[in-house]
Amino acid sequence: MTSERRLMQGNEACAEGALKAGLQFFAGYPITPSTEIAEILSRRLPEQGGKFIQMEDEIASMAAVIGASLTGAKSLTATSGPGFSLKQENLGFAIMTEVPCVIVNVQRLGPSTGGPTLTAQGDVLQARWGTHGEHTIIALCPASVEETYYLTIMAFNYAERFRTPVILLMDETIGHLRESVQLDKYDKMKIFSRPRPWETPDKYLPYAAEDDAPPPMAVFGEGYRYHVTGLVHDESGFPCTGNHAAIDRLLRRLNNKIMAHQDEITLYKDTMTEDAEHLLIAFGASARSAASAVKIARREGIRAGLLQVQTLWPFPEKLIRQKTLGKRSVLVPEMNLGQYAREIKKVVSDKTMVVTLSQIDGRLFHPNKIVAYFRGEERHAEIL
Amino acid sequence: MMKDPRQWQIRLSGSGGQGLILAGIILAEAGNLENKYVVQTQSYGPEARGGAIRAEVIISDMPIDYLEVETADIFLALTTEAYAKYCYNVASGGLVIIDENVKTKLQRTRVNRFPIIATARDSLGREIVANIVALGVLVSLSEILHYDTVLAALKKRVPPHTMELNARAFEKGWDLGKERLAVKEVEKI
């Protein structure tokens, strides 16, 4: 990549970021507003020796991604809400079997088919809890085209390092947005690949690992044979439904392997938060609106600041506690009815007021809603 | 919202399939080539053809926070439906460019009517390049970007075999704008 500034679309940045991260396999089923990711990769991925396949539906796409990853390929699928719902079962399978992969959800207005070209951030909690059972997930959320490139690379890095599915939670606005980017500064980013076993195939225990680490991952087709199951399993990979100690060890390890590294997984940006009386916490496209509102508020003499959360999950509890300490209020503008605001409320001191600001009409969150709140005129503000 | 004098907010509108999103992309590409900060967004329905659509571009000397046009410095409409739907929040002193066939409810005088679609159809033989004719009119009337950078942007964004036709369309539009400027002041809101 040269140092030239390029005009790029969010979805294109996602595709390019995936290639930069070493993407080798994509399976998907096109859906607005994520289609460009598949469209671009159908051309770009084979050029780089990778495989692109359009599957019969989203369920099969997710299954194909898991299969490809088991053969050692860095794998990706991209979808939107309706497809994301369909992928949930296999997403859980990938968590349980510790198969690294990246799932992009370019959010559109839901529920159901909702509004294919309308923007929304309604899948924040679905990303966290869409699949059943106790589990931990990583979800990243970009607020610009350049961030989309960067966070796609980080999504692959986390997936590979921790052997887990990672969700890149975009929104229609950022997916379809075009803006200038300068990507050469990411040329030297460290690219991670999953750890490989050093044992010979006859000694390989596929799920043997430290209490807070993923196990090394063998590549199918290189002589290692092992059992991959969504059932609870012990180090051998075979089901252990009667061994409660092994079940406990597995489920705690699946959580610990991520949570032990939470500090380094927590990505964010902050602007004028230090002296802020009112802290805005935002993510995705609405973070851009919040940034604009902060500037307007400052001009009117209101001490506002912005914490833009890039890592939505695991929930950055420590960061939020730290940044909200001593603030008069915390305002959370979201294109949903307060999904993240309620998570924030759980960890913020009672002395700080948490307010959810919502816009769910399919249009981009407008900065004037935030400004109107400061003037006491916003209708869709709710104190939690 | 306070207006930054070094920022241009542009809203293009028309019917789905007329290529206004592409026109927006070309404007943004040209802004990028002139080392400006640019964002381009769009709004469209599920239909591939027909229906009013809008494409928005902000070209700025400074990083852009909020991504959509708040008050348009330039507004373009190629159809009556798009004009009715998207001609709002035009800045005072803003420039409104419409195709000659667009029906405006009030007999507004401060709009600039041009035979955009007719030029594409009759002088160039392809109505499909009306978007690029419009682009030529817009750039020459507003002088927000240089002729050469828009041409370079065009080259980056249209299929190579259509470049010659598109370049002619852009020139035709440019000339329409310049001719108007030669005989009278451009109308401002």
The tens digit of pLDDT for each residue in A200-232 reads 999 999 999 999 999 999 999 999 999 999 999
Specify the residue for token string 């607005």. A32
Please give, rounded to a whole number of angstroms, the shortest distance from the CA of A79 to a CA of chain B.
17
Is the pLDDT reported for residue B9 higher than 80? yes
Q: Last residue of a domain, which of A186, A208, A226?
A: A186
The tens digit of pLDDT for each residue in B10-27 reads 999 999 999 999 999 999
**Of A154, A192, A359, the residue nearest A268 (C-alpha):** A154
A57 and A150 assigned to the same domain: yes
Residues of B whose CB is below 8 A from A364: 41, 67-68
Distance from C-alpha of B177 to C-alpha of B186, rounded to nearest angstrom: 9
Identify whether the C-beta of residue A18 lies closer than 8 Å to the C-beta of residue A187.
no
Residues of B whose CB is below 8 A from A285: 67
Which CATH number belongs to the domain containing residue A171 in this structure?
A: 3.40.50.970
Q: How confident is the model at residue B185, as a pLDDT? A: 80
Give a yes or no: residue A217 inside a domain. no
Q: How confident is the model at residue B189, as a pLDDT? A: 82
**Of A162, A232, A179, A229, the residue nearest A10 (C-alpha):** A179
Residues of B whose CB is below 8 A from A6: 32
Q: Which class is B7-182 in CATH?
A: alpha beta
Q: Residue ranges of the domains in chain B?
A: 7-182
Distance from C-alpha of A148 to C-alpha of A13, rounded to nearest angstrom: 6
Q: Last residue of a domain, which of A164, A186, A208?
A: A186
Give a yes or no: residue A198 inside a domain. no
A138 and A21 assigned to the same domain: yes
**Beta carbons of A367 and B66 less than 8 Å apart:** yes
If one counts the domains in chain A, the total is 2
Give a yes or no: residue A247 inside a domain. no
Distance from C-alpha of B130 to C-alpha of A76, rounded to nearest angstrom: 39
Q: Last residue of a domain, which of A156, A186, A216?
A: A186
Residue A324 sits in which domain range? 268-383
Instruction: State the amino acid at position A219 in one-letter form.
Output: V
Q: How far is CA A367 from the centre of its chain?
A: 24
Model confidence, pTM: 0.96
Q: How confident is the model at residue B109, as a pLDDT? A: 64
A180 and A306 assigned to the same domain: no
Tokens of B143: 């002088």
Residue A294: closest CA among chain B residues belongs to which residue?
B65
A271 reaches B (C-beta below 8 A): no
Is the pLDDT reported for residue B2 higher than 60? no
Is the pLDDT reported for residue B110 higher than 90? no
Helix, coil or strand: residue B182:
helix
Confidence label for B3 from pLDDT (cuts 50, 70 and 90):
very low
Q: How confident is the model at residue B186, as a pLDDT? A: 83
A195 reaches B (C-beta below 8 A): no
Residues of A whose CB is below 8 A from B65: 288-289, 291-292, 295, 367
Give A251-319 as a DSSP string. HHHHHHHHHTTHHHH--EEEES-TT-SEEEEE-THHHHHHHHHHHHHHHTT--EEEEEESEEES--HHH
Mean of all residue pLDDT scores within chain A: 97
The tens digit of pLDDT for each residue in A245-288 reads 999 999 999 999 999 999 999 999 999 999 999 999 999 999 99
Is the pLDDT reported for residue A136 higher than 70? yes
Interface test with B, best of A4, A6, A7 (most B CBs within 10 A): A7
Mean pLDDT of A329-354: 98
Q: How far is CA A50 from the centre of its chain?
A: 23
**Beta carbons of B40 and A177 less than 8 Å apart:** yes
**Beta carbons of B38 and A367 less than 8 Å apart:** no
**Beta carbons of A291 and B65 less than 8 Å apart:** yes
Give me the phi and psi of A263, to 5 degrees please: -60, -45
Among candidates B1, B45, B67 on the partner chain, residue whose Cβ is nearest the Cβ of A177: B67
Among the ranges given (A348-352, B73-77, B103-107), the one the predictor scored with the smallest mean pLDDT: B103-107
Residues of A whose CB is below 8 A from B42: 176
**Beta carbons of A7 and B28 less than 8 Å apart:** yes
A285 and A172 assigned to the same domain: no
Which CATH number belongs to the domain containing residue A326 in this structure?
A: 3.40.50.920
Is the pLDDT reported for residue B4 higher than 90? no
Q: How confident is the model at residue B5, as a pLDDT? A: 54
Bridge-based pairing state of the strands A101-109 and A165-171: parallel
Confidence label for B107 from pLDDT (cuts 50, 70 and 90):
low
Q: How confident is the model at residue A228, as a pLDDT? A: 97
Identify whether the C-beta of residue A192 lies closer than 8 Å to the C-beta of residue A200.
no
Mean pLDDT of A278-307: 97
